[in-house]
Amino acid sequence: MKGYRRYFLNKALWFLVTLVCAFILNFFLPRLMPGDPVAAIVARMAQGMSNATGVQAIYQQYTELFGTNKPLLQQFFIYVNNVLHGNFGFSFSFYPRTVASVIKSSIWWTICLQFPAIIVGWLIGNTLGALAAYRKKGFDKVLMPVSIFVSNFPAFGMAVILMVVFGVGLKWFPTSGGYGFDLIPNLSWKFIWSVIVHYQLPFWSIVLIAIGMQAIGMRSMAIYELNADYVKYSRFMGIKDRKIIRYVFRNAMLPQVTGLALSIGTMVGGALVAEIIFSYPGLGYTMLNAIMGGDYPLISATTLIVTLMVLTTMFLIDIIYAFIDPRIKAAQFD
Amino acid sequence: MKHMIRQVFRPGKFLFGFILFLALLLMTIVYPLIIKDAPLAIIGRGTFFPPGIYMNVFDSIGSPQYTLMLDDAAANRIGSKLGNAERLAMKEWLVADGIPGNEIDIANTEKLIEQWENNYDPAQSIAGMTYAKQLYYQRLNTSLQGILSIEGAIIAGNNPESGVLEESNSVAQTDYVNIREVPNVRVLPLGTDNFGRDVLTELVSALATSLKIGFVAGTVATLIGLTLGLLSGYIGGLIDDIIMFFTNIFTVIPTFVLLILISFSIGQEHRGAFTIAVVIGFTSWVWTTRAVRAQVISLRNRDHVNLSKLSGHSIAHIIVADILPYIASYVVMAFILQISSGILMEAGLSILGLGPKTTEVPTLGLMMNWAMIYQAPTLGKWWAYLPVVVTIALITFSMNLMNTGLDQVFNPALRD
């Protein structure tokens, strides 16, 4: 058990160090941007005002409110303190909403879109990949080039093509938004149906690419395992083919499970593009708006959430793996 | 060496990917030699001209005229103005006006137009018809004027002295010009984009820029990754600890997030294509470092390396002569993948509005960004975005095919 404790402490320390580094990068990088976003907001608010002192007063009030008049280092400590209390400050571009409320309203859209898409893509992709490795011949000859091509397809290209074919051409599904623009979110059947219809295109654009990627990974893993010595040995022993295949695919699954965990962790960052193309009201679309509006509190917060999710997943994978596969823990201390 | 090259080119995958890549590369070299227009020159006044051959109308009037008696000319002329949709719309109006539906035969052009001319009145408003629809009928009516006449058109010019219109020429319906005798003909194989620029010329230039971006990003990433991996793996000790500290940090911070933050902090004004490429390179060296380090660690205690050490060779010599040849195949494969992911990352950044600044050179991502901002997909202007998507897909596809092909050569377990 001593080995485990040392391993976990080591991992936890790394988790903290990386988190601090990521946090610092998250705070300082967007603020290094040339130009004054507060001035841009004030210019928008003060449109048509001719009184220079009035504009000056508004500017003063906003810099006070957003805290941009203090030195950067002091701002950083105030920010750290606020974040620890769950307060990310005001959003510049969505003012008077706070960053926390903007993110709270968008993150569920992203999770509900990506989580099922990743699971479905992973299941279909792995089944196809395993079949390709086992059947070979014609199935493999057709499936492999297709999946290589599909998985190399840029995510936005897939999204655009689905949108043109099914949204603009066949008019089966709407091309943008998370629900009908004439509806207010509520629990009526009409609203739910509208959400389901709007869901389809972003969902499938993510699933298709995931299928291609998983199929390639699973195929090469399965081929590798099928050629392993234990398979030949089992054949000589006269063990039934079906049973061997069960072993083979269980072994080939292990890296694929890591892949699944990783893509769940990175999901918020993974398909920003699909959200942007379909104007889906999730985190990616919020990030786009934040970038367009020079809204660095919002950018910091969105990237921080993405980073935090990835870090946590990696940490959990490390911990769980140490139990599943003791060799990994041992390898750390060579 | 000769044997290795032959082996690399034997699997079909590598060869196919290589040929595809070479074809794209050749296009970026040959095309600008033939067509020397500036890629960002705005030639069209208006957005999204469809692909086709554009012939100057003014010049075609002055060109030698030939008379061809073609039977289907009149039918084609009417057909281009009066499609099935227009016929149905006309019937709809006439029915709304009070003519019984069974008296209207939309297949009989002559009778339909006669009925239309007798009954249509632009001033008359039909109950429940939107203003837009009314305008549509007015436009349709104008375009139908004189559609059945067999008269030619008269070309008149202003007399500069008296200011009176004078007939200078007339064009009969059977007159043709030879397109090779019209001095100004412009072929726009992919039409124009939202700014009125020739899409094909722009696309080729964008492809060249994107390949350069990918190449620079790949080179930067591979060089950093290789150097750090070699140092960390071969020298070990404190240097190894420091390098692995940074590598571990950058492994878990998502690359794309880092890329967004850095590009954002550079600011729109300072983002050139080269800067973006270097930034992409600086954010994607991590996996190369890890893999190179792992391989170097397993190599550094091999007998031939120890022999080299005993012979008193310098570290540089050992690395170049005894270690690099063993990891070269891996590094080349990683380099190819870095190029293709660099191209994809540039495109992703540009779609977010964080790509290179827009005034100097087009890139594939920027073209995609422009097409999306001007809503080319919803307007059905396929020539503005589809060629870009296909080009990006072809590049990454060819790179990955080459990579898989090399993998099969150097990684015998994967061979079927």
Last residue of a domain, one of B131, B157, B185: B185
Cα–Cα distances in Å, from B162 out to A187, B159, B165?
76, 6, 9
Chain A residues inside the 8 Å CB shell of B267: 33-35
pLDDT (0 to 100) of residue A334: 43
Among candidates A33, A168, A273 on the partner chain, residue whose Cβ is nearest the Cβ of B348: A273
pTM for the predicted model, two decimal places: 0.80
Chain A residues inside the 8 Å CB shell of B353: 288, 291-292
- The per-residue DSSP string of A19-71 comes to HHHHHHHHHHHHHTSSS-HHHHHHHHHTTT---HHHHHHHHHHHHHHHTTTS-
Report the run of H or E that residue B54 belongs to, with start and end: strand B52-55
Chain B residues inside the 8 Å CB shell of A146: none
**How close B87 comes to chain A (CA, Å)?**
23
Q: Are B354 and B222 in a shared domain?
A: yes
Helical residues (DSSP H) of A95-181, grouped into ranges: 99-135, 137-152, 155-162
Integer Cα distance of A303 and A27 in angstroms: 10
Question: Is the Cβ pair B414, A30 closer than 8 Å?
Answer: no
Better-scored residue on pLDDT, B327 or A255: B327
Nearest CA in chain B to A132: B416
Whether the pLDDT of residue B123 is over 80: the answer is no
Residue at B53 is within a domain: no
Please tell me what DSSP assigns to residue B165: E
Instruction: Check if the beta carbon of residue A18 is closer than 8 Å to that of residue B252.
Output: yes
Give percent of chain B with pLDDT exceeding 90: 14
Chain B residues inside the 8 Å CB shell of A291: 260, 264, 352-354
Chain B neighbours among A 97-156 (CB < 8 Å)?
A: 136, 148-149, 152-156
How many other C-beta atoms are found inside a 10 Å radius of the C-beta of residue A78? 13
Last residue of a domain, one of B137, B156, B185: B185
Residue at B54 is within a domain: no
Instruction: Check if the beta carbon of residue A272 is closer than 8 Å to that of residue B259.
Output: no
Residue at B272 is within a domain: yes
Question: Is the Cβ pair B393, A148 closer than 8 Å?
Answer: no
Query: To which residue do tokens 């959003």 refer?
Result: A91
Q: Are B224 and B350 in a shared domain?
A: yes
Q: What are phi and psi of B166, to 5 degrees?
A: -125, 135
Among candidates A149, A156, A220 on the partner chain, residue whose Cβ is nearest the Cβ of B368: A156
Integer Cα distance of A204 and A118 in angstroms: 10
User: Two tokens at A311?
Assistant: 């870090």
Counting one residue from A and one from B, how many pairs have CB atoms under 8 Å apart?
129
Residue at B56 is within a domain: no
Instruction: Check if the beta carbon of residue B338 is closer than 8 Å to that of residue B403.
Output: no
**How close A33 comes to chain B (CA, Å)?**
4
Integer Cα distance of A228 and A55 in angstroms: 75
Residue at B250 is within a domain: yes
Q: Give rounded-to-5 percent helix, strand, coil for chain B.
A: 65, 5, 25
User: Two tokens at B142?
Assistant: 């104008």
Residue at B51 is within a domain: no
- Chain B within 8 Å of A84 (Cβ-Cβ)? no
Q: Are B170 and B201 in a shared domain?
A: no
Rounded to an integer, the average pLDDT of B304-329 is 87
pLDDT (0 to 100) of residue A330: 57
Q: Are B137 and B115 in a shared domain?
A: yes
B175 has which bridge partners? B67
Chain B neighbours among A 44-83 (CB < 8 Å)?
A: none
Integer Cα distance of A32 and B324 in angstroms: 40
If one counts the domains in chain B, the total is 2
Q: Sign of torsion, CA A213 A214 A215 A220?
A: positive
Integer Cα distance of A201 and B65 in angstroms: 53
- Chain A within 8 Å of B382 (Cβ-Cβ)? yes
Question: Is the Cβ pair B253, A18 closer than 8 Å?
Answer: yes
Q: Are B99 and B205 in a shared domain?
A: no
Residue at B92 is within a domain: yes
A139 has which bridge partners? none
Chain A residues inside the 8 Å CB shell of B12: none
ipTM: 0.76
Among candidates B265, B344, B348 on the partner chain, residue whose Cβ is nearest the Cβ of A32: B265
Q: Are B207 and B276 in a shared domain?
A: yes
Nearest CA in chain B to A228: B413
Task: Select the residue from B13, B264, B333, B401 to test the A interface by mutation, using most A Cβ atoms within 10 A.
Answer: B264
Integer Cα distance of A38 and B118 in angstroms: 65
Question: Is the Cβ pair B253, A30 closer than 8 Å?
Answer: no
pLDDT (0 to 100) of residue B61: 83
Task: Select the residue from B252, B271, B286 to test the A interface by mutation, using most A Cβ atoms within 10 A.
Answer: B252
Among candidates B256, B372, B389 on the partner chain, residue whose Cβ is nearest the Cβ of A269: B256
**From first to last of its 334 residues, what are the pLDDT tens digits of chain A?**
566 788 888 888 888 888 888 888 888 877 776 666 677 667 766 666 667 777 777 777 777 776 777 777 788 888 888 888 877 777 777 777 888 888 888 888 888 888 888 889 888 988 888 888 777 777 777 777 777 777 777 777 888 888 888 877 777 877 777 776 666 777 777 777 787 888 888 888 888 888 888 888 888 788 878 888 888 888 888 888 888 888 777 777 777 777 787 777 666 665 677 788 888 888 888 887 887 777 777 888 888 887 888 788 778 877 777 776 666 555 554 4
For the stretch B126-148, pLDDT in tens is: 777 788 888 888 888 877 776 66
Widest distance between CA atoms in chain A: 93
Integer Cα distance of B387 and B199 in angstroms: 9
Three-state secondary structure call for residue A266: coil
Q: Are B259 and B401 in a shared domain?
A: yes
**How close A243 comes to chain B (CA, Å)?**
22
- Chain A within 8 Å of B412 (Cβ-Cβ)? no
Rounded to an integer, the average pLDDT of B205-213 is 92
Question: Is the Cβ pair A227, B400 closer than 8 Å?
Answer: no
Report the run of H or E that residue B12 belongs to, with start and end: helix B12-34
Last residue of a domain, one of B126, B153, B185: B185
**How close A26 comes to chain B (CA, Å)?**
7
Chain B residues inside the 8 Å CB shell of A224: 413-414
> Whole-number mean pLDDT of chain B?
84
Q: Are B147 and B237 in a shared domain?
A: no
Look up the CATH number of the domain holding residue B337.
1.10.3720.10
Nearest CA in chain A to B378: A168
Whether the pLDDT of residue B224 is over 90: the answer is yes
Chain B residues inside the 8 Å CB shell of A157: 389-390, 392-393
B355 has which bridge partners? none
Q: Are B213 and B106 in a shared domain?
A: no
Better-scored residue on pLDDT, B397 or B127: B397
Rounded to an integer, the average pLDDT of B87-109 is 79
Q: Are B178 and B204 in a shared domain?
A: no
pLDDT (0 to 100) of residue B219: 95
Quote the domain boundaries for residue B198: 2-42+194-410
Q: Are B143 and B217 in a shared domain?
A: no
- Chain A within 8 Å of B345 (Cβ-Cβ)? no
How many other C-beta atoms are found inside a 10 Å radius of the C-beta of residue A176? 17
Better-scored residue on pLDDT, A294 or B21: B21
Residue at B50 is within a domain: no
Among A234-248, B214-228, B376-390, the range scoring the smallest mean pLDDT is: A234-248
Q: Are B85 and B173 in a shared domain?
A: yes
